[in-house]
């Protein structure tokens, strides 16, 4: 009897060891092969986060940090560009992926030093220089017990770049960032500085929000901020077809729903057939809401689990399994600032021959399940290296001219790993067009900061206000001073009355 029990114990121990050994050995292998140093971003004007847009600018101008000096410098620059027939492409943190910050042979304007911060606590209004990155803004607000109202999920981006694409994130029941912009000052193509808000220069206000740097240089921005609450994460498994219903049940009419996001499985065992909604529920705590960033540590394990997905079905299944067991924050209580203060390069590829590329499709709430069902065969036929799908809700946007959320939308953010060669790019282009067709058939749109793979016809169906947007661009900037690849890809063909070549 004793012998049998001992043998059983030994078998159990060996089995447990084998179960644990496989993921441990797998993750050790990922660590061994992973590059040890994060890649730094290319210099302003020379490329962007895609690393597929190598560009040679004629000159790079770094804006002065002192606001008065910067304003004079920029006004002189705009006058010189007009005189010499040059184009200015404005760079924030360059995380757009379609040359939105680039113009070959043009003037690259690096806005980073323009990053002053001031908070009016009474009005809960932050005044911030457009070059400031969220990782500069978050600690400043955290010191004072406040947090950003709407931003992306990572902290790398500039304020100017964020409002120029009209970003959004895990903040549920909110329109994109435009809804939190009280006003901004803009240096226009005529060299004057104007204030834009819902009450002053309203047309320009709506064009610059989501205007991709085509109407002038955004200087300071007034942003509404919110208290730095604490959240407890709870993950709810859900079938993708029920995603919207469950999301609404968890968040609508629940004032304690602080932030929320979802994931769709990219694991081969349950590809697009399982999902989860994570609710960050406000929680009462005695902890002070100031200085909450002190113990933030980047996690190596998170990176390895994420990067282990590349080229490995096992890695993809492992990540989904781990996420289902533990959720991402493993039941920890985190402040809003801690949740939003994560750099994207924690997860980014370190392989010089590859890149990570994002797509995002905005789908009306009523057609979400349809999009999941119709897009699944596209992925199964192309078998791309799809590493992650996050879902966010975006409430209707009443401020932006070139808007992607005229009604409540659910944004599906897809992260792909791609080789940096012509063949991979060509395949991605064909697949992207198919996915855009699926999104359009579901009454949806695609997000504009990423690769410019859409056809002219797809662009116009997704953004029917584009012809008027670009006509206004030419009225406000008749000499085309503010131009970039976004304009060359989408605006210039419309102006010439020709369709972009497929
Ligand atoms: C890893 C990763 C994660 C992302 N996650 C999200 C997300 O969660 N949600 C989301 O909505 N988006 C997301 N994005 C997209 C991101 O929001 C945009 O690419 C955004 O533009 C990044 O800000 P940036 O400072 O890098 O902008 P840049 O790429 O530098 O610029 C974007 C545009 O803004 C213009 N611009 C920049 N500064 C100014 C200025 N001062 N005045 C006028 N025009 C200006 C530029 O000319 C350009 O056209 C993500 C991108 C990456 C790479």
What are the chain's domains?
230-456 (3.30.70.2520)
Look at residues 489, 478, 469, 498 and name the one whose alpha carbon lies nearest to residue 208: 469
Give pLDDT < 70 ranges for the chain.
1, 295-297, 328-331, 497-502
State if residue 164 touches ligand 1 by the CB under 6 angstroms criterion.
Answer: yes
State if residue 358 touches ligand 1 by the CB under 6 angstroms criterion.
Answer: yes
Q: Is 451 helix (H, G, I), strand (E, B) or coil?
A: coil
Label residue 85 left, alpha or beta by phi (over 0 means left) and psi (-120 to 50 means alpha): left
Determine which residue's CA is closest to atom 10 belonging to ligand 1.
Answer: 167
Q: Give pLDDT, residue 280.
A: 94
Rounded distance between C-alpha atoms, residue 353 and residue 483, angstroms = 29
Q: Give pLDDT, residue 264.
A: 97
Rounded distance between C-alpha atoms, residue 113 and residue 423, angstroms = 38
Instruction: Name the token pair of 417.
Output: 């790993």
Among 44, 46, 157, the mutation site with the greatest number of ligand 1 atoms within 8 A of its Cβ is: 157
Residue with tokens 């709430």: 365
State if residue 92 touches ligand 1 by the CB under 6 angstroms criterion.
Answer: yes
Instruction: Name the token pair of 461.
Output: 């169906």
Burial of 210 (0-12, 13-18, 19+ CB in 10 A): buried
Determine which residue's CA is closest to atom 21 belonging to ligand 1.
Answer: 161
Q: Give the pairing type, strands 107-110 and 88-91.
A: parallel
Chain center to CA of 256: 25
Q: Which atom of ligand 1 is nearest to the CA of 89?
A: 47
- What residues contact 321, with CB distance under 8 A and at least 6 apart? 267
The model's pTM: 0.94
State if residue 95 touches ligand 1 by the CB under 6 angstroms criterion.
Answer: yes
Q: What Rg, from alpha-carbon coordinates, does the chain have?
A: 23
Backbone angles phi, psi at 44, to 5 degrees: -55, 135
Instruction: Name the token pair of 480.
Output: 């085309």
Burial of 448 (0-12, 13-18, 19+ CB in 10 A): buried
Cβ(214)–Cβ(475) under 8 Å? no
415-425 per-residue burial string, b: 16 or more CB within 10 A, e: under 16: bbbbeeeeebb
Burial of 401 (0-12, 13-18, 19+ CB in 10 A): buried
Q: Is 363 helix (H, G, I), strand (E, B) or coil?
A: strand
- SS3 assignment for 69-114: HHHHHHHHHHHHHHHHCCCEEEECCCCCCCCCCCCCCCEEEECCCC
Rounded distance between C-alpha atoms, residue 176 and residue 150, angstroms = 7
Rounded distance between C-alpha atoms, residue 295 and residue 304, angstroms = 21
Among 71, 91, 92, the mutation site with the greatest number of ligand 1 atoms within 8 A of its Cβ is: 92
For residue 6, report the distance from its CA to the centre of ligand 1, in Å: 61
Q: Give pLDDT, residue 499.
A: 43
Rounded distance between C-alpha atoms, residue 269 and residue 311, angstroms = 15
Q: Is 261 helix (H, G, I), strand (E, B) or coil?
A: strand
- What residues contact 96, with CB distance under 8 A and at least 6 apart? 48, 49, 161, 165, 212, 449, 450, 486
Q: Give pLDDT, residue 324.
A: 85
Rounded distance between C-alpha atoms, residue 169 and residue 152, angstroms = 4
Q: Give pLDDT, residue 5.
A: 75
Look at residues 418, 462, 389 and name the one whose alpha carbon lies nearest to residue 97: 418
Among 41, 96, 132, the mutation site with the greatest number of ligand 1 atoms within 8 A of its Cβ is: 96
Backbone angles phi, psi at 406, to 5 degrees: -70, -20
Rounded distance between C-alpha atoms, residue 265 and residue 259, angstroms = 20
State if residue 107 touches ligand 1 by the CB under 6 angstroms criterion.
Answer: no
Q: What is the pLDDT of residues 343-371, one digit of tens each?
A: 998 899 999 999 999 999 999 999 999 99
DSSP 8-state symbol, 184: E
Q: Which atom of ligand 1 is nearest to the CA of 96?
A: 19
DSSP, residue by residue, 269-335 = GGTTT-EEEEEEEE---SS-SSSTTTT----HHHHHHHHTTTT-HHHHHHHHHHHHHHTTTTT-EEE
State if residue 111 touches ligand 1 by the CB under 6 angstroms criterion.
Answer: yes
State if residue 94 touches ligand 1 by the CB under 6 angstroms criterion.
Answer: yes
Among 42, 47, 152, 184, the mutation site with the greatest number of ligand 1 atoms within 8 A of its Cβ is: 152
Backbone angles phi, psi at 302, to 5 degrees: -60, -45
Cβ(404)–Cβ(448) under 8 Å? yes
For residue 500, report the distance from its CA to the centre of ligand 1, in Å: 24
State if residue 257 touches ligand 1 by the CB under 6 angstroms criterion.
Answer: no
Residue with tokens 């064909």: 430
For residue 167, report the distance from its CA to the centre of ligand 1, in Å: 8
Distance between first and last Cα of the chain: 76
Rounded distance between C-alpha atoms, residue 297 and residue 36, angstroms = 17
Rounded distance between C-alpha atoms, residue 285 and residue 492, angstroms = 54
Chain center to CA of 132: 16
Instruction: Name the token pair of 189.
Output: 């193509």
For residue 236, report the distance from its CA to the centre of ligand 1, in Å: 30
State if residue 487 touches ligand 1 by the CB under 6 angstroms criterion.
Answer: no
Q: Which atom of ligand 1 is nearest to the CA of 158?
A: 25
Q: Which atom of ligand 1 is nearest to the CA of 177?
A: 11
Rounded distance between C-alpha atoms, residue 117 and residue 148, angstroms = 13
Determine which residue's CA is closest to atom 13 belonging to ligand 1.
Answer: 152
Instruction: Name the token pair of 321.
Output: 């399994």
């Amino acid at each position: 009897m004793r012998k049998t029990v001992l043998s059983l114990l030994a078998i159990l121990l060996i089995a447990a060891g084998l179960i644990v050994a496989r993921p441990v050995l797998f993750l050790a292998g990922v660590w061994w092969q992973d590059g040890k140093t994060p890649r730094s971003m290319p210099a302003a004007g020379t490329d962007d986060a895609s690393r597929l847009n190598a560009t040679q600018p004629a000159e790079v101008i770094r804006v002065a940090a002192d606001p008065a000096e910067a304003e004079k410098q920029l006004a002189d620059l705009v006058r010189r560009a007009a005189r010499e027939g040059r184009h200015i492409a404005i760079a924030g943190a360059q995380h757009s992926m379609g040359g939105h910050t680039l113009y070959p042979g043009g003037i690259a304007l690096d806005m980073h030093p323009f990053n002053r911060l001031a908070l009016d606590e009474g009005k809960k209004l932050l005044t911030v220089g457009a070059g400031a990155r969220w990782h500069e803004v978050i600690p400043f607000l955290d010191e004072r017990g406040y947090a950003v109202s709407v931003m992306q999920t990572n902290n790398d981006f500039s304020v100017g770049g964020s409002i120029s694409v009209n970003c959004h994130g895990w903040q549920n029941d909110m329109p994109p960032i435009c809804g939190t912009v009280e006003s901004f000052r803009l240096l226009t193509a005529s060299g004057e500085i104007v204030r834009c808000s819902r009450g002053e220069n309203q047309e320009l206000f709506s064009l610059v929000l989501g205007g991709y740097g085509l109407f002038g240089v955004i200087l300071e921005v007034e942003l509404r901020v919110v208290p730095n609450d604490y959240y407890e994460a709870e993950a709810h498994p859900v079938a993708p077809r029920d995603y919207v219903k469950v999301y609404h049940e968890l968040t609508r009419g629940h004032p304690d729903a602080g932030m929320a996001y979802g994931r769709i499985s990219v694991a081969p065992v349950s590809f697009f057939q399982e999902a989860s909604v994570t609710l960050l529920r406000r929680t009462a705590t005695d902890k002070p809401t100031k200085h909450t960033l002190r113990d933030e540590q980047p996690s190596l394990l998170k990176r390895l689990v994420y990067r282990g997905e590349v080229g490995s079905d096992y890695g993809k299944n492992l990540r989904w399994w781990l996420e289902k067991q533990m959720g991402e924050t493993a039941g920890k209580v985190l402040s809003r600032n801690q949740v939003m203060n994560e750099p994207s390069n924690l997860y980014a590829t370190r392989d010089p021959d590859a890149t990570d590329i994002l797509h995002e499709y905005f789908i009306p709430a009523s057609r979400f399940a349809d999009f999941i069902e119709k897009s699944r065969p596209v992925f199964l036929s192309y078998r791309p290296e799809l590493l992650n799908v996050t879902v966010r809700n975006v409430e209707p946007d009443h401020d932006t001219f070139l808007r992607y959320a005229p009604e409540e939308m659910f944004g599906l953010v897809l992260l792909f790993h791609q080789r940096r060669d012509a063949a991979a790019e060509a395949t991605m282009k064909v697949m992207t067009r198919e996915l855009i067709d699926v999104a359009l058939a579901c009454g949806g749109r695609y997000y504009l900061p990423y690769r410019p793979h859409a056809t002219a016809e797809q662009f116009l169906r997704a953004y029917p206000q584009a012809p008027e947007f670009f006509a206004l661009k030419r009225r406000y900037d008749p000499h085309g001073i503010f131009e970039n690849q976004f304009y060359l890809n989408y605006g210039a063909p419309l102006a010439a009355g020709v369709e972009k070549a497929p």
